[in-house]
Chains A and B, each alone.
Chain A
Amino acid sequence: MLEAAFLIPAFPIAGFLLVFLFGRKLGEPVAGWLATLAMAGSFVSTLVVFGGLAGLEGEERFFIQKIFTWIPSGTFNVDIGLLVDPLAVTMCLFITGVGTLIHLYSIGYMHGDPNFSKFFLYLNMFAASMLLLVLGDNLLLTFLGWEGVGACSYLLISFWFTDEANASAGKKAFVTNRVGDFGFMLATFVIFTSIGSIRYADILSGADAMTTNAATAATLLFLLAAAGKSAQLPLYVWLPDAMAGPTPVSALIHAATMVTSGVYLLTRLNPVLAEAAQGAVTAIAWLGALTALFAATIAIAQTDIKKVLAYSTVSQLGYLFLAVGTGAYVAAIFHMVTHAFFKALLFLGSGSVIHGLDGEQDMRRMGGLARIMPITAMTFVIGWLAIAGVPPFSGFWSKDEILLYAWNESKLLWLVGIITALLTAFYMTRQVILTFFGRIKFFDAHTDEIEMAFANRVTDSKAALEDAQASVGAAEEGVAKSEADLEKRTEALAKAETAVEETRMAVASSLPANDGHEKLVKAFEKAEKAIPKAGTAMEKAGAKVTDAHQALAHAQTAVAEARELALTAATAANRAPKAPEYVTAFTDGPDVSEFESQMPDSYRQRNEYHPHESPWTMTLPLIVLSFFAAVAGGLNLPFTKDLHFLGHWLEPSLFGNEAHLTDISTATKWGLAVVAIVVGIVAISTAFYVYVSEKVNPESIELDVFAEGWHLDNTYAKVAGGPGHAMFDGAAAFDAKVVDGAVIGTTTLVSRLGGVFAYLQPGFVRSAALGIMLGSAGVLIWFLARLWL
């Protein structure tokens, strides 16, 4: 059955080739199903191999399947071969198991992506590389897988490469990992020079022949490599940025599998570690402990749901290093397995949330999702209980074992570990509360939206003011017009009165007997009649003037009012950015009813969106993972020796290098466990106290220095951008001037030489014959010269 080992990487390679060749034609979702099936096939093969291995006795559980000799080169032979032992198979089980679930999940998550099949192509390629890394029977093959997963990680982080942030996150991961890879290569050279082989079989059996110095150097260099791949201080900076990739990638690569390869490497080489100076191994433990604490402090202040998990991953990987450094290899692998379950679960849960909320990643805008997505919430809660170390969930058992070994090594290490456990329980509780409980804050207006609403109001009121001012102008014009009209009417009345007077005089002066008299009388009567007409007109004009004055007064009042409104709006707009309390409040959100009409479109769109539970392809993996996250602790229960299933299983891979807990009494063990449980309860209740009852301002805990990751990343950027950049410029200048100069100089010299040779080789038969004869003479003389020399 062990012969099936080659099938484990063969399935994803075949899947990769098929999707590569036909992916575009198959399209969505067939390409995804094909890739998932390939992973499932790999998982089944792993089960078969596992069965075969379990059927053997302890020491015989070491099987090498040589496929062919890759590089035959004198004393340096490298095979393409697989090393099947309990450690490798354990890794394979969760890589293929969790990998299959994540492939399945991705079918739902990547729905509708234009590069759907390409995503699965990369996923399968990643899985193949990861399996090669774990199963390779020599360091070079592991390095091939090591680089393969790095390349796939780069491709997948920048999968949505059109976004600048994603592309640069991919580059950051790639560059940071180069530092670690440098360590890997140097360590391989050290191993080869001191053991004479890079095959694990030779290294594991020949490690005790290494000098302490060589083993220490190899250990420290491998530690550098592992710190790069497993995101430890100071090389962790790429992992949080890697969250820019699609969430299944974060779950598969940046939580469950690739990042554990550093720990795998150190565990695999435990005989080398055993030969190294104690200081080097203690350095591993301290590096892990400090990373765990450091990343945990950062995690409590993150607001992005995935960033919390990213820093949590860094922190949990720190635990694994702590375990390796204290010789607790079983505990390291145990926690690696449980972590793979619960962290993949948490990541996939967060992906489900993000998927259901239309891409929202800010936890401050979530809340109450337990009602909307019950399956996601339920499974996430299980993941939370597991990572927070609540018994009987898996995380409690594995973390407790690591802490136990830390206590055995040094009380200080244990203290750092327990503080980290406290912080872990705290920030995870915070995450669960913010995401799933309390009020649904998804529809809440965002601060920037409120700002925009106020800004809209300012704009509106300004427009109203302008309108009012324009109407004042119109009213003033009306006043002027009507006054002019009144004047005209008044003049007309005066004229009419004059005409009456004149006609009356004329009537009086003429005789009634006259012919003209009658006419005059008529004219007089006419003029008399005109007077009241003109009077009425004048009255009317007067009324109009009054009206116009009134309108003017109104308009002026309106302007004053509008000005006042604009002023209020502007003041409100100024005040708006200072209102973050609007969005963190657990009980009440911002009341935007009074200016709802002014809210921007994004707000309206969001309120029309319906958050929903994810499809079954996504929830099924969650359910399966939550089951394992809950019960995986059963792999290695501490109560009696018989329950150390994982410990017995891994024994052949550890060559007796596992640390022994002889000094610790059972009472101490129970005591430590109780302390761990109490710490977890304290942390969880503190988080409830802070985030539910709102009696403490969260800002007093979520310090800026935590949110900014202790400014370490910025410092790197500054160094790389300032002195580092100058150094690179210097190197580039050196390359351009000195190196290129040497190269160009050589070519110039050589092409001149070429001219000389062309002159010496004219191409006549006789000259060629002469040349050959001269050469022959030279050779002859040289040979014969040996007679006398």
Chain B
Amino acid sequence: MLALLAQTQVQIPEIVWSVLWPIVLLSIGGVLLITATSISPRLRVGSFPAAMTIVLAGASLVTLPLIWSKVRDGGGQLPVIADAIRIDAFTLLVTGIMCASLIVVSLLLDDYLRTEGLDGPEWYVLLLMSATGGILMAAANDLIVTFLGLEILSIAVYVLAALHLRRTKSQEAGFKYFILGALSSAIFLYGIAMIYGATGSLRLTDIAQFIASGNSAGLSPLTESSLLLAGMAMLLIGFGFKISAAPFHLWTPDVYEGAPTPVVAFMASAVKAAGMAGLLRVFIVAFGVVAEDWRPVVGAMAILSVVIGAASALGQDNVKRMLAYSSIVHAGFMLVGLYAAASGAAQTGTRSVVFYLFAYAVMSLGTFAAFTLIGGRGDQNHSLSAYVGLSRSNPMVASLLAVLLLAQAGMPFTIGFWAKARVIIAAANGENYVVAAVAMVAAVVAAFVYLRLIVTMFMISEPDEAGEAEASGAQLRISRSGLFALGIAAAATMIWGLFPGFGGDWFGEATRALLELR
């Protein structure tokens, strides 16, 4: 037995730690955080956990340019850990989104936990873990790593959704999310197994090569490989669940409504971005050659998402549910971009999705930050009537929220406009006029939802009855950190709205990493 072990010497791949700083900082930092607060209970209370999370995320952000210079010198992409992970512009962009999301959510959570009388660094530890998983998903060049990332990301979020222990709704949300998530994970894993069976590899680049060689042998479109087709279908289902694209969106409204609002901010920005990043990586790198096979399904999911999302959002009176459906519309828009990328407009299509990822993260973080502030004690002021007259009682919050909602509606001079415009242009480039038209109509309908909320805040005068006035948030306590977080998001919305090329061409680089450096 021992001899056998000695014989099968495990080959430990070389690891370039210097480009893995964000993953290391966030995961080890999380572990250190829970250890430190367990040893010294005094650190449990107060803002220490939040501060540490922000420092960790900030430090990771700082390392990004350093890593990028290294990556650029290495030709734009560095294979790490025996090529299981790829560090490139795309990975770094998603890392940036994760870290930004961590910072904003920590700013919100600090005050939220204090108001709710909840304590514990666990929230932050889970956030750090989840973000690590997200980065892994984006970086993975191996389906097992993708799955690992997916699970690290998801399990932490299941717990986070249920972590408001006194609220039954929160428990219910966590439970629902967990059961349905487990279901989708199972399907996803099954899909991985099938892909392995069909191609004999889990490396995305190897899979691509295998398919390409089959392609040259006349096997594409894949009229021969039922295994590969079924595998792709199941991976698409798993990702579709994570990004809440119709028809796998059914968990979204309940979970968004029940989960603590700062956690929803994280789910809408980081989790969705990670899911979309994984989807892009897997489907463009590994299955880009057989785009003809998955293209129609992505198109159908896109159309279903924008239509169902927009239509369902209209009837909602709870703003969190409303935004849950709106997040489905946004997922649909990203899929429209992917659909365009699969139908000839590879460059503009992929780029539009990459930009959309970033834009939606910014907008959703800001919007849910505002919802956290307005939700108040007990996290319950989420009905539309709570927003009546908000512009008078809290003009600052109301106007910043209005900016973010207008951005979501796709108003020019905001980041949301460029995101939507790029997707539509890409769809037109790919000659997907029907999908583009449906998406535009859905965007108009969805705009109505946001405008309805804005009108409620600004146009409807405050009612006279004392009870109503209380509900309208007249005594809203706005934490400085929360307002700061909201301000950052609104500022980013405007900056990239006015100068979509601000800060350099990250999106183009990320697109290049996906398309050219396979």
Contact A779 B183, CB 8 Å, known A754-B314, A761-B312: no
Instruction: Report whether B179 and A769 are in contact in the complex, using a CB–CB cutoff of 8 Å.
Output: yes
User: Is B445's CB under 8 angstroms from A768's CB?
Assistant: no
A761, A765, A768, A783: the one contacting B230 at CB < 8 Å is A783
Q: Quick one: given A754-B314, A763-B253, A772-B180, are A72 and B501 in contact (CB under 8 Å)?
A: yes
B312 touches A758 (CB 8 A): yes
Chain A hits for B223, CB < 8 A: 786-787
Closest to A74 in B: B348
Q: What is the minimal beta-carbon distance from A57 to any residue of chain B, in angstroms? A: 34
A218 to B247, CA, bound (A): 49
Do the beta carbons of B312 and A787 come within 8 Å of each other? no
- Interface: A71 (CB within 8 A): yes
Q: Known: A763-B253, A768-B176. Is A74-B351 also a contact (CB below 8 A)?
A: yes
Task: Tell me if A750 is interfacial: C-beta within 8 Å of chain B.
Answer: yes
Find residues 55-101 in chain B having any chain A CB closer than 8 Å to their own CB: none
- Mark each residue of chain A from 44 to 78: 1 if its CB lies under 8 Å from any CB of chain B, else 0: 00000000000000000000000011111110000
Check if A786 sits within 8 Å of B176, measured CB to CB. Answer: no
A73 near B294 (CB under 8 angstroms)? no
- Cα distance A754–B232 when bound, in Å? 31
User: Of A68, A768, A778, A787, which one neighbours B180 at CB under 8 angstroms?
Assistant: A768
User: Which residues A736-771 have CB closer than 8 A to chain B?
Assistant: 746-747, 750-751, 753-755, 757-758, 761, 763, 765, 767-769, 771
Q: Are B221 and A753 in contact (CB under 8 A)?
A: no
Counting contact residues on chain A (CB < 8 A from B), the size range is 35 or more
Q: Contacts of A784 on B, CB cut-off 8 Å?
A: 226, 229-230, 233
Q: Are B311 and A786 in contact (CB under 8 A)?
A: no
Asked, given contacts A74-B348, A767-B250, A772-B184, whether A782 binds B499 with beta carbons under 8 Å apart, the answer is no
| Cβ-based interface call for B310 (8 A) | yes
Interface centre among B348, B499, B508 (most CB of A within 10 A): B499
Cβ of B297 under 8 Å from chain A? yes
Shortest CB-to-CB span from A722 to chain B, Å, is: 36
Tell me the chain B residues, 246-263 only, with Cβ under 8 Å from chain A: 246-248, 250-251, 253-254
Contact with B along A681-701 (1 / 0, CB 8 A): 000000000000000000000
**CB 8 Å contact bits of B345-371 with A (1 = contact, 0 = none):** 001100100000000000000000000
Contact: B254 with A763, CB < 8 Å? yes
Bound: A765/B177 CA distance, A: 9
* Partner pick for B310 among A68, A72, A750, A768, CB 8 A cutoff: A750
- The chain B residue with its CB closest to the CB of A758 is B315
Q: Say how far A712's CB is from chain B's closest CB, in angstroms.
A: 37
Q: Looking at the complex, which one of A73, A768, A778, A783 makes contact with B232 (CB distance below 8 Å)?
A: A783
B221 adjacent to A786 (CB under 8 Å): yes
Q: How far is B310's CA from A768's CA once the two chains are assembled, in angstroms?
A: 19
User: Are the CB atoms of A747 and B445 closer together than 8 Å?
Assistant: yes
Known A69-B505, A751-B314, A776-B237: A783·B294 in contact at CB below 8 Å: yes
Cβ-based interface call for B151 (8 A): no
What separation, in Å, do the CA atoms of A148 and B159 have in the docked complex? 54
Q: A78: nearest residue on chain B (CB-CB)? A: B501
CA distance A771 to B240 in the complex (A): 13
Beta-carbon contact of B237 and A786 below 8 Å: no
B230: A residues at CB distance < 8 A: 780, 783-784
Provide the bound-state CA to CA distance between A448 and B92, in Å: 80
Q: Are A750 and B226 in contact (CB under 8 A)?
A: no
Give the docked Cα–Cα distance between A769 and B180 (Å): 6
Cα-based distance from A636 to B275 in the complex (angstroms) = 68
Q: How many B residues touch the partner, as a band? A: 35 or more
Does A775 interact with chain B (Cβ within 8 Å)? yes
Cα distance A432–B370 when bound, in Å? 67
Contact A783 B297 (CB under 8 A): yes
In the assembly, what is the distance between CA of A74 and CA of B508, in Å? Answer: 9
A753, B311: Cβ atoms under 8 Å? yes
- Please tell me if B374 contacts chain A, counting CB pairs below 8 Å: no
Tell me whether A726 is interfacial, beta carbon within 8 Å.
no
Asked whether any CB of chain B lies closer than 8 Å to the CB of A774, the reply is yes
Q: Min CB distance, B68 to chain A, in Å? A: 18
The distance from the CB of B242 to the nearest CB of chain A, in whole angstroms, is 12
**Whole-angstrom distance from the CB of B438 to the nearest CB of chain A?**
13
Given A70-B501, A784-B226, A754–B311 Cβ distance below 8 Å?
A: yes
Interface residue? B293 (CB, 8 A): yes
> What 1/0 flags go to B303-321 for Cβ under 8 Å of A?
0000010111111000000
What is the interface of chain A mostly: helix, strand, loop, or mixed? helix
Q: Nearest residue in A to B228 (C-beta to C-beta)?
A: A783
The answer to whether A783 touches B254, judged by C-beta atoms less than 8 angstroms apart, is no
Q: Are A746 and B312 in contact (CB under 8 A)?
A: no
- CB of B64, distance to nearest CB on chain A (Å): 20
A747 CB contacts on chain B under 8 angstroms? 314, 445, 448
Tell me, yes or no, whether B187 is within 8 Å of chain A by CB.
yes
- Whether, in the assembled complex, B270 has its beta carbon less than 8 Å from a beta carbon of chain A, the answer is no
For A773, give the chain B residue with the smallest CB separation.
Answer: B183
Per the bound structure, the CA–CA distance linking A172 and B508 in Å amounts to 45
Residues of B within 8 A of A769 (CB): 179-180, 183
Question: Whole-angstrom distance from the CB of B143 to the nearest CB of chain A?
Answer: 17
Contact flags B276-302 to A (C-beta < 8 A → 1, else 0): 000000000000000001101100110
* Chain B residues closer than 8 Å to A774, beta-carbon distance: 247
Asked if B241 CB lies within 8 Å of chain A CBs, one says: yes
Interface residue B422 (Cβ < 8 Å from any Cβ of A):
yes
Report chain B residues within 8 Å CB of A763.
Answer: 253-254
Q: Return chain A residues, CB-CB under 8 Å to B250.
A: 761, 767-768, 771-772
Assembled-state Cα–Cα distance A422/B184 (Å): 88
How many angstroms from the CA of A746 to the CA of B232 in the assembled complex? 37
Out of B233, B240, B311, B507, name the residue touching A783 (CB < 8 Å). B233
Cα distance A780–B351 when bound, in Å?
28
Chain B residues 470 to 518 lying within 8 A of chain A, measured CB to CB, are 499-502, 505, 507-508
Residue B436 CB within 8 A of the other chain? no
**Residues of A contacting B313 in the complex (Cβ-Cβ under 8 angstroms):** 754
- Say yes or no for B222: interface residue by CB 8 A criterion: yes
List chain A residues, Cβ under 8 A from B351. Answer: 74
**CB–CB B294/A776 < 8 A:** no
Residue of B nearest to A751 (CB): B314
Instruction: Report whether A779 and B237 are in contact in the complex, using a CB–CB cutoff of 8 Å.
Output: yes
Cβ of B236 within 8 Å of any chain A Cβ, yes or no, is yes
Q: Is B50 an interface residue (CB 8 A)?
A: no
Residues of chain A with a CB closer than 8 A to B502's CB: 68
Specify which of B247, B315, B441 is in contact with A778 (CB 8 Å cutoff): B247
Chain B, Cβ-Cβ closest to A774 = B247
Q: What is the CB-to-nearest-CB distance from A677 to chain B, in angstroms, rounded to a whole number?
A: 55
Task: Please state if A775 and B247 are interface contacts (CB–CB under 8 Å).
Answer: yes
For residue B499, which residue of chain A has the nearest CB?
Answer: A70
Distance between Cα atoms of A763 and B232 in the complex (Å): 28
B312 touches A72 (CB 8 A): no
- Find the B residue at minimum CB distance from A763: B254
B233 touches A768 (CB 8 A): no
A783 cross-chain contacts in B, Cβ below 8 A: 229-230, 232-233, 293-294, 297
Cβ of B267 within 8 Å of any chain A Cβ, yes or no, is no
Alpha-carbon distance between A72 and B508 when the two chains are bound, in angstroms:
9
A643 to chain B, nearest CB (A): 47
Residue of chain A at shortest CB distance from B498: A70
Tell me if B234 is interfacial: C-beta within 8 Å of chain A. yes
Question: Which residues of the partner chain A approach B308 to less than 8 Å between Cβ atoms?
Answer: 757
Given contacts A765-B179, A786-B223, contact A73 B500 (CB under 8 A): yes
* 25 pairs, CB–CB < 8 Å, chain A vs chain B: A68-B501, A69-B505, A70-B500, A71-B501, A72-B505, A73-B422, A74-B348, A74-B425, A746-B441, A747-B445, A750-B311, A753-B311, A754-B313, A761-B250, A765-B176, A767-B250, A768-B254, A771-B247, A775-B247, A778-B247, A780-B233, A782-B233, A782-B296, A784-B226, A786-B221
Q: List the interface of chain A (C-beta within 8 A of B).
A: 68-74, 746-747, 750-751, 753-755, 757-758, 761, 763, 765, 767-769, 771-776, 778-780, 782-784, 786-787
Tell me the B residues contacting A by CB distance below 8 Å.
175-176, 179-180, 183-184, 187, 221-224, 226, 229-230, 232-234, 236-237, 240-241, 246-248, 250-251, 253-254, 293-294, 296-297, 300-301, 308, 310-315, 347-348, 351, 422, 425, 429, 441, 444-445, 448, 499-502, 505, 507-508
